[in-house]
Structure 1
Amino acid sequence: MFVKKIFSAIFLIAISLAIISCSEDSPTENEGLNPKDPNTASKVSIDRFSSEAGNLFVRTPSNGLPESNAPINFDIAPFITKGLGPNGEKVQYYNFDVQPIVSAPIYVLFKDGEDSPVDDQLNIIDVVPGDQGYNDFWNVNKVIVPSDYTANTITNVNDLFDSGYSIEKTNIIVNCPVVPEGSTAKLRYKSSESKELTRGWYNDQVVFYFNFSEKELMTTSQGSTNVPLAEILVSFNINPDQQGGGPASGFVTENNSDQTHNVVDTLPEDNSYSPLWDVDIYDNNNFEEVMDWQSASMSNILATGAAIVNCPIVSVE
């Protein structure tokens, strides 16, 4: 699990932690709470394409998007795109739709004095796609539990807050889109990244999410929960100022190819990289001339700040 794997390394470096106390009283013994088994617990039904959850990807009778809670194959169109890097590199990125700048909290449990999360304890979230405040990007909150804590005794946010356990709000951001069980996204930028789904807890039910760790992300400033942004320039088959234009018309591609000339201004190795992209749109009449960030920047820009989308880069050639 990405969150678990990065913690030992990240918490050994100098990261300032703002400690939030959920209760001024002494922690309780969680009387009446028994550990739950994730293997037998009920599972959350997830729908990323409902009108409440989706923005660019909203299910209609004709567009063929997967039904509610059906596994999603993100390795096929329209969820994977071939674009260009700042110097004309060939890149691929996933499309996880529009996301807010403000991250959502994810709670990771640690025994007092230890640097690694509690063995077998699933991380805890309190929002899923379609809920107000949901975001694929999560601000990690470190929960300190007693040394005798039993994994998966806490499986929802209400019990967590009632426990009185200390919570340390970190400046770490993780990109973990919540998806239906069985969903697949087989590409990752680093060979060390897991391609498997991770399980978590949501209201005593098991939830599934991807992990994308092509770049370690931090909040934009100390005390903030905002996700950093990078820039992308894109072009559509029909310009957005025309009828039927914009995203609904699809990206312009090279002849007999799925290669777009959508251009990102940073790559995962760059300090300024973020998978949360601020989308600007350039005139499709300039498509042939756009081959890198410089040429894209010199094109006729039709719209700025059109959307903020989660598009982690998973390959660069």
Structure 2
Amino acid sequence: MKRIHLKALSTITLVALLASCKKDSHTNTNSTPRDPNTAPQASIDRFSSAAGHLQVRTSSNGLPAANAAVNFDQAPFITRGLSPAGKVVDYYNFDVQPTAPAPIYVLIKSGETTPVAGQFNIIDVIPGEPGYNDFWQIYNVTVPSNYVANTVTSYQEIVSKGYTVTRTNTLVNCPVVPKGSTATKRYPAGSDASIITGWYKDMAVYYFSFGEKALTVNSSGQVPVIPIYVSFTINPNQPNGGPASGFKTETGSSQTHNVVSALPANAGYSPLWAVVVYDNMSFGSVMDFTTASAAPVLVPNAGNVNCPVVNVQQ
């Protein structure tokens, strides 16, 4: 996945926007661009009770504090599971997410088709706020031809300047994280895994980008959802069972028998998974999608989780 503020993404996600005299009449009143290195930093906490669902910080579980850099390459943020055919896959765990995408604003000069060079994308919600989602729907914002990058750094400014905003059907999976966080794995291997800078209400914000497959909203304007079959160390109908007990794994290994129903190469793939919990008594017999879908189901829909696949065994 290309970083969504780069020109490369625009060739597959952004449509040409027609210029008009009215659009060109806008002038950029703030001619001094903001620098994210000196601008205030947005406070990010993915593990507060307001932001988290399965991943909520307690005094004993060791989840990182607000604004602390997170290493997503370690448990409980990455899981080894199985593909539909039974091959080993790895995927990140970015917790429960809604199906209604949040808007992300990409600025494009009038008469052009590519994002403004050097401009960071703009969001208006962060984790813990109503309407936040790791999945963002791209909105193109037409700015004047003389626009200077990063002189607009909030949705409020977009509105106040009267810029034309055009919704696209394109989705991007970009979890907002504290500055300095790392998640080094991408599919295919070698894809850019660096953290990306954006703007939120004139403050610098940071996010990852996962692009193992191009995504668009479905016919209802929502993030597509497909199933994943999982089992826990203790079944959810037992004391201390379910997510708190952790995924069931092979003895002495991190290998679960969680089975994804599609891979990035498949037409129906989406990283937003509807969790189906099967009875862990079937753990030994579940080795692929066929056996997973035949296992007794304890919870048919335990929530929709953002789990981008970042490795597929060949």
TM-score over 0.5 for the pair: yes
The alpha carbon displacement at 1:252 in A equals: 0.5
Q: Measure the CA separation in 2 of the matches of 1:73 and 1:306.
A: 26
Q: Measure the CA separation in 2 of the matches of 1:199 and 1:278.
A: 30
Asked whether 1:291 is paired with 2:287, we answer yes
Q: Which amino acid aligns with 1:241?
A: N
The alpha carbon displacement at 1:32 in A equals: 4.9
Aligned to 2:34: 36
> CA contact under 8 A between 1:139 and 1:225: conserved in structure 2?
no
> CA contact under 8 A between 1:263 and 1:293: conserved in structure 2?
yes
- After superposing on structure 2, the runs of 4+ consecutive aligned residues of structure 1 that deviate more than 6 Å are none
Q: Which amino acid aligns with 1:142?
A: N
The alpha carbon displacement at 1:166 in A equals: 1.0
Asked whether 1:57 is paired with 2:55, we answer yes
* 203, 207, 229: which one aligns with 1:205: 203
Q: Which amino acid aligns with 2:107?
A: L
Matches within 5 A, 1:221-300: 221=219, 224-300=220-296
The alpha carbon displacement at 1:29 in A equals: 2.2
Aligned to 1:93: 91
Aligned to 2:79: 81
Q: Which amino acid aligns with 1:261?
A: H
Q: 1:248 to 1:108 in 2, by over 3 A?
A: same
Asked whether 1:71 is paired with 2:69, we answer yes
The alpha carbon displacement at 1:26 in A equals: 8.3
Q: Measure the CA separation in 2 of the matches of 1:291 and 1:62.
A: 33
Asked whether 1:118 is paired with 2:128, we answer no
Q: Which TM-score applies when normalising by structure 2?
A: 0.94
Q: Which amino acid aligns with 1:293?
A: F
Aligned to 1:7: 9
> CA contact under 8 A between 2:141 and 2:165: conserved in structure 1?
yes
Q: Measure the CA separation in 2 of the matches of 1:11 and 1:240.
A: 41
Q: Which amino acid aligns with 2:65?
A: E
Q: Which amino acid aligns with 1:54?
A: G
Q: 1:256 to 1:144 in 2, by over 3 A?
A: same
Matches within 5 A, 1:121-270: 121-221=119-219, 224-270=220-266
Q: Which amino acid aligns with 1:248?
A: A
The alpha carbon displacement at 1:209 in A equals: 0.2
Q: Measure the CA separation in 1 of the matches of 2:10 and 2:29.
A: 31
Q: Measure the CA separation in 2 of the matches of 1:273 and 1:180.
A: 28
> CA contact under 8 A between 2:16 and 2:113: conserved in structure 1?
no
Instruction: Report which stretch shifted further, 79-88 or 159-168.
Output: 159-168
Aligned residue pairs total: 308
3-state DSSP of counterpart to 2:5 = helix
Q: Measure the CA separation in 1 of the matches of 2:159 and 2:274.
A: 35
Indicate the RMSD between aligned Cα atoms, in angstroms. Answer: 1.9
> CA contact under 8 A between 1:105 and 1:141: conserved in structure 2?
yes
Q: Measure the CA separation in 2 of the matches of 1:220 and 1:175.
A: 15
> CA contact under 8 A between 1:7 and 1:115: conserved in structure 2?
no
In structure 2, stretches of 5+ residues that fail to align are none
3-state DSSP of counterpart to 1:158 = helix
> CA contact under 8 A between 1:27 and 1:164: conserved in structure 2?
no
In structure 1, stretches of 5+ residues that fail to align are none
3-state DSSP of counterpart to 1:182 = coil
The alpha carbon displacement at 1:34 in A equals: 3.5
Q: Measure the CA separation in 2 of the matches of 1:122 and 1:284.
A: 46
Q: 1:54 to 1:120 in 2, by over 3 A?
A: same
The alpha carbon displacement at 1:153 in A equals: 1.1
Asked whether 1:303 is paired with 2:299, we answer yes
The alpha carbon displacement at 1:41 in A equals: 1.0
Q: Which TM-score applies when normalising by structure 1?
A: 0.93
3-state DSSP of counterpart to 2:47 = coil
> CA contact under 8 A between 1:193 and 1:212: conserved in structure 2?
no
Q: 1:173 to 1:219 in 2, by over 3 A?
A: same
Instruction: Report which stretch shifted further, 28-37 or 84-93.
Output: 28-37
The alpha carbon displacement at 1:28 in A equals: 3.7
Q: Measure the CA separation in 2 of the matches of 1:11 and 1:136.
A: 18
Q: Deviations over 1:197-232 (max 9, x none)?
A: 0000001000000000000000002xx541011110
Q: 1:93 to 1:268 in 2, by over 3 A?
A: same
